Amino acid sequence: MAATQDTIDRIAEASGTYKYGFVTDIESDKAPKGLNEDTIRFISAKKDEPAWMLDWRLKAYRHWLTMKEPDWQKVGYPPIDYQDAYYYAAPKSKDDAPKSLDEVDPELLRTYEKLGIPLKEQEMLAGVAVDAVFDSVSVATTYKKKLEEMGVIFCPISEAVHRFPELVQKYLGSVVPYSDNFFATLNCAVFTDGSFVYVPKGLRCPMELSTYFRINEQNTGQFERTLIIADEGSYVSYLEGCTAPQRDDNQLHAAVVELITMDDAEIKYSTVQNWYPGDSEGKGGIYNFVTKRGACRGKNSKISWTQVETGSAVTWKYPSCILQGDNSVGEFYSVAITNNAQQADTGTKMIHIGKNTRSRIISKGISAGRADQTYRGLVRMLPKAEGARNHTQCDSLLIGDQCGAHTVPYIESRNPTAQVEHEATTSRISDDQLFYCLQRGIPEEDAVALIVNGFCKEVLQTLPMEFAVEAQKLVGISLEGSVG
């Protein structure tokens, strides 16, 4: 049997109609349209950056000019005119930056409330420090003081450039170099803001750090830059969530996230991405071309990526781990839902360099409507990766006969003691499973819920509590208990 109408409706609810579609009207302070060295100097000047930062941006920009936009991914979109976009937009109230939540533009706060992330409530109830990014400038950072007392640095990266230049200079671009790929290089040249986190030696960060990204200003590309460093023996869990207002023009988002873990350190990075996916014909919607990469530099270190991807018209994203330190661990858990005309080409890379490195990949793709989804992954065992292990499982669920689900894994092994296992399945909700449930007196509706629930469970389980709720809402089809 095909997926029931209700299941389809649930998916439509989860990813089709976009309930966060509104535009906040705030006058903004824009750089002139287009991209050239002057734009980059403008951004750098706006941020009052030191010379080394500007030089790095210009170096990246000059390299970008020599690069070709990639076309190997299985997504199609009209050519992007990089000269027809604004590369800097900040809320005008930036000059008298808010000192506390009370000073934050009430209209901004209302926007967040509509999104269901009331900062104050979170501060009080959830114990989450939120570095809320509205377009390109961080407008409110909470719990910063408390964290700083413990030695945790959690601030906008533009601030870190001034306050901790030696840390930024040492680590920025050390995982994703300026010449890495077309979109990452573009980000290096024009990034406006993002988060910077440093967790000192031996500290287990007591709260989950969280950033909400918003894309608001029309025609503004968002170029976030996030850098997280977990020093020896430390632990941090970082949450990233995204929603964007509805509009017709396509928007480009090319973020870069770099994670670095030293000996015995761990970073857990969770994302719920629910940007505007375009209307049911695929008009509008965000182009999400993101480079995320973590380096397990130290022994026994760990990086764990969890993502729930329900939004964006086009997604191009491969959160990766470079397992350099002996015994280091990389994990990638992903649920991706594409509906209507959405396209997603996502996956991960696990590069095993050190001895006894381990990685685990669990990817669940649900494709509905006329959407196309691709899992693209690489597992590479280098000759010195003695005793390394990888297990990969990627499953796809198809709902409707107009959608596509594809799996493109690359497995490269150059060490005999390394073990790689890869499994993938593609199916719709199985008649056998349904029959089994029905036969035992479980109503069809509950049975489908049970099966879909089971399909995503492994990934959703890994989300921190704060995100699990939102993820469940977004996945919609799975965990409510009454899906049919």
Give the residue among 1, 7, 2 at the shortest CA–CA distance from 482: 7
Cα distance between residue 87 and residue 220, in whole Å: 6
Q: Smallest distance, Å, CB 421 to another protein? A: 5
Can you tell me which of 101, 408, 468, 479 binds another protein, judged by CB under 8 A? 408
Nearer to another protein, 151 or 387 (CB): 387
Per-position x/- string for 356-385, each x denoting binding to another protein as judged by CB under 8 A, each - no binding: -------------------------x-x--
Q: Does 416 bind another protein (CB under 8 A)?
A: yes
Residues 6 or more apart in contact with residue 8 via CB below 8 angstroms: 368, 399, 400
Nearer to another protein, 404 or 464 (CB): 404
Ramachandran assignment for 438, one of left (phi > 0), alpha (psi -120 to 50 degrees), beta (any other): alpha
Q: What is the DSSP string of 174-239?
A: SSS-TTS-HHHHHHHHH--B-EEEEE-TT-B-SS-EEEEEE--STTB-B-BEEEEEE-TT-EEEEE
Q: Smallest distance, Å, CB 414 to another protein? A: 5
Q: Smallest distance, Å, CB 427 to another protein? A: 5
Please, are residues 289 and 318 in contact by the beta-carbon 8 Å criterion?
no
Nearer to another protein, 46 or 406 (CB): 406
Can you tell me which of 54, 167, 411, 468 binds another protein, judged by CB under 8 A? 411
**407-421 per-residue burial string, b: 16 or more CB within 10 A, e: under 16:** bbbeeebebeebebe
Q: Does 403 bind another protein (CB under 8 A)?
A: yes
- What phi and psi, each to the nearest 5 degrees, are found at residue 198? -130, 125
Q: Does 409 bind another protein (CB under 8 A)?
A: yes
Q: Does 402 bind another protein (CB under 8 A)?
A: yes
Q: Smallest distance, Å, CB 7 to another protein? A: 12
* Residues numbered 123-182 forming contacts with another protein, rule: CB under 8 A: none
Nearer to another protein, 234 or 413 (CB): 413
Residue 281 structure tokens: 């014909």
Q: Does 413 bind another protein (CB under 8 A)?
A: yes
Q: What is the DSSP string of 268-322?
A: EEEEEEE-----TT--S-EEEEEEEEEEE-STT-EEEEEEEE---SEEEE--EEE
- What phi and psi, each to the nearest 5 degrees, are found at residue 95? -60, -45
Nearer to another protein, 272 or 399 (CB): 399
Nearer to another protein, 94 or 406 (CB): 406
Q: Smallest distance, Å, CB 396 to another protein? A: 7
Q: Smallest distance, Å, CB 194 to another protein? A: 33
Number of shown-chain residues binding another protein (CB under 8 A): 38
Q: Does 405 bind another protein (CB under 8 A)?
A: yes
Nearer to another protein, 28 or 356 (CB): 356
Task: Give the E-state strand segments of 26-172 in sequence order.
Answer: 28-30, 89-91, 129-134, 137-141, 153-156
Cα distance between residue 235 and residue 269, in whole Å: 11
Quote the distance between the C-alpha of residue 426 and its chain's center.
24
CB atoms within 10 A of CB 100: 9
Please, are residues 197 and 168 in contact by the beta-carbon 8 Å criterion?
no
Q: Does 2 bind another protein (CB under 8 A)?
A: yes
Binding segment for another protein (CB under 8 A), chosen from 10-18, 226-234, 293-301, 417-425, is 417-425
* Residues numbered 418-477 forming contacts with another protein, rule: CB under 8 A: 418-428, 430
Q: Smallest distance, Å, CB 408 to another protein? A: 5
Task: Point out which residues bind another protein (CB under 8 A).
Answer: 2-3, 72, 381, 383, 396, 398-428, 430
